[in-house]
Chains A and B, each alone.
Chain A
Amino acid sequence: MRRAAGALIRKDLRVELRTGEAVPAMLLFSLSTFVLFHFAIDRRSVEGDLAAGVLWMTLLFAAVLGMVRLFVAEREQGGFDGFLLAPVDRTALFVAKATVLFLFLGAVELAALPAFAILLLGPSPWGAVPELVAVLALANLGIAVVGTLVGALGIQTRARELIVPILALPLMIPLAIAAARATSPLLLELGAEPVPGRWLAVLGLYDLVFGLLAFAVFDFLLED
């Protein structure tokens, strides 16, 4: 499985580097949304709960763009059936797609977070970077797992561009709540406070549950 997953990851990254269809779109969406929030909430800056909410709503919607592109591109490029014909564990496709989405999210956040800090955020986030990275990593893992599951569901349908967000967003509500609650103390005006362990635990549990679910059902999702 490792050989097949590695080949798929390399292929996806090469296609993305060549076409720039997913990451630039996700990043542009994030930056535009921050600008819209800046004017829509009519504040010079945000902090705490509001800042965490704005950040995670933006990242989740940007992630949905990536989820759609991840598998739609597979169909449009025409190689999906080619993969299905190969004598490899189909879970490799799940591992590869989740890894690629995780990497895409990381790349987007690398640019989007400084932009968020400049455009909207009141307090400086730099003192809490390690904690923020931990929250982002746990949340990104959950988004990548759910996004891959939902993307695989959508690939067999004609209305996949609609199916993916309609299914993904409700499934990510627990993740959005936990990620925002875990991030909020890191973005306080009076300085970062420790991340509540229970919200990190919720994120970890979310990742575990959906990860196990994905391993159990992914093969069936690819069946005709």
Chain B
Amino acid sequence: MGAADGAPAVALRDLGRAYGERVALAGVTLELPRGATLAVFGANGAGKTTLLRILATLLRPHAGEAVVLGSALPREGWAVRGRIGLLAHEPLLYRDLSARENLRFHARLHGVAAGRAEALLEAVGMARRAAEPLRSLSRGMTQRVAICRAVLHEPELLLLDEPLANLDPGAAGAVAPLIGRASGAARVLISHDVEQGLAEADLVLGLRGGRPALLAPAAAVGADDVRELYR
């Protein structure tokens, strides 16, 4: 515990990132309080995943400042890695290991008891299939295991890229307590489901061509404002 504990979950100022000549993200400035949810909308290639990977310490920003949970990135990335949970497009799991082996591996890396992995598998309805190699599971089941991995260490900030992709309604309901508002974590949520994203959000960021085209409290944003980003 320290002074950084009173800091916002995410504070960005003029954040930018390029891949060679192509600017993927530019001029993003925002502040996300602890426990709040930022919904990020934008067409494919708008810079959403780049933003998420910068916040997850996997990419370095090329411009501006990013402070996550009170630590400046990338300099203090080591200080926040264990406090962030990333659910990316890829499950970030080993296909030849079972769900249980994957979660136990990550539990060891995060210094979490193996019992937590078992409890999560039970919570998402994967206990019965936990011994099967991941490659034999459906995409929805793999997504459930990936969600377990992302929340295994009870992160303070959840970075969620299309978290409900491939999940049936039952599975979506099962993971809601882990990655929904009830988790208590601050969340950065990428979604193409406009209504669902707005319902979850406190703050909305719309990206177009890597630049902010919309930044407002969710209460002040309508679904049509968001859909405009995709035109």
- List A residues at the B interface (Cβ < 8 Å): 3-4, 6-7, 10-11, 14-15, 18-19, 77-79, 81-88, 223-224
Q: Are B92 and A11 in contact (CB under 8 A)?
A: no
B59:A77 contact, CB within 8 angstroms: no
Residue total for B at the interface (Cβ-Cβ under 8 A): 31
Q: In the docked arrangement, what's the CA distance between A7 and B91, Å?
A: 19
Beta-carbon contact of A14 and B101 below 8 Å: yes
Answer whether residue B109 sits at the interface, using C-beta atoms and an 8 A cutoff.
yes
Stretch at the interface among B78-86, B160-168, B173-181, B212-220: B78-86
Q: Is the CB of A14 within 8 A of B97?
A: yes
Most A Cβ at <10 Å: residue of B78, B109, B111: B109
Tell me, in angstroms, the Cα distance from A82 to B88 when the chains sit together. 10
Per the bound structure, the CA–CA distance linking A4 and B105 in Å amounts to 9
In the bound complex, CA of A86 to CA of B81 (Å): 6
**Which single member of B59, B84, B92 contacts A79 (CB below 8 Å)?**
B92
Q: Are A7 and B56 in contact (CB under 8 A)?
A: no
Q: How far is the CB of A32 from chain B (nearest CB, A)?
A: 26
A224 to B77, CA, bound (A): 12
Cα distance, A166 to B135, chains bound together (Å): 32
- Cβ-defined contact, A85 with B133, below 8 A: no
Contact of B97 among A3, A15, A86 (CB under 8 A): A15
User: A78 and B96: CB pair below 8 A?
Assistant: no
Across the interface, do A7 and B105 meet the contact criterion of CB distance under 8 Å? yes
The verdict on B57 contacting chain A, using a C-beta distance below 8 Å, is yes
